Amino acid sequence: MKQSEQHRAQAVDFVRRRPRQSRAKDTVEVIFEATARILQREGRTALNTNYIAERAGISVGTLYQYFPNKEAILVAMARNELAIDEASVIQAITEPPQDGETDLVRRAIRVLIRAYSRRREARRVAFETMISEGLGDELANSVQKVAQTVSAESHRLLPDRAAPITPTNLFVITRAVSGVLRAASHERSPLLGTLEFENELVKLVYSYVAERQESPQMNAEER
């Protein structure tokens, strides 16, 4: 087995395990924190298991009890971030409005922007590693779960829209929003986290789902 394939297999094998005891969970969190700090301050080139263990205040032997290599750590971090993001945006969509809040679309987008703005470099590297390890389908699955929630809550998210949101509508708009956010993260865009960026994403959603009659020219071309 080639080294890259071995790393991939090891990463998949580990991240399917879940530490059950509180001490084990605490150790994993410490490893995640140390890894994130290294990535934020020194970048991926500085990352190795010995350095992670040193920064985490544990022995490298203890680290290897949980992770076979740094790729496995990054994959586990990505999965952890993905689970947090998914839960946060679903909560934003399903919770009742608070303090006179009416724009649930903006609330959901703001939650996503905050997630993508959190420790950008560590997050970017973690997700890039997940994709390079052949686990990109997990990102798509998470978006699909959010899309299903949007469909179920569309009457609250878009109360002025008479027509139902179609599966095609859902696919296009959820992938458009997630694609823009990932591009901003990957490109290290300074726009991410600004009010202007948030406003444009909100506009993107409302412009796309707004009910419009097709132009005569489009109908003629389709016929």
pLDDT at residue number 41: 94
- pLDDT tens per residue across span 99-121: 767 788 999 999 999 999 988 99
Q: 103 with 192: CB under 8 angstroms? A: no
Rounded to an integer, what is the distance from CA 147 to the centroid of its chain?
13
User: Domain spans of the chain?
Assistant: 3-66, 74-211
Backbone Cα Rg of the chain: 21
CATH 1.10.287.620 fits 3-66, yes or no: no
Q: How far apart are CA 94 and CA 96, in angstroms?
A: 7
Contact 191, 155 (CB under 8 A): no
pLDDT in tens, 29-60: 999 999 999 999 999 999 999 999 999 999 99
Residue 213 is predicted with a pLDDT of 39
Number of residues written out for the chain: 223
Q: What is the pLDDT of residue 123?
A: 93
Residues with Cβ within 8 Å of 118's Cβ and at least 6 positions away in sequence, in order, are none
Q: 197 with 184: CB under 8 angstroms?
A: yes
CB 66 within 8 A of CB 19: yes
Residue ranges for the chain with pLDDT beneath 70? 1-21, 100, 162, 211-223
Determine the CATH number of domain 74-211: 1.10.357
Q: What angle do CA 190, 187, 122 make, to 5 degrees?
A: 90
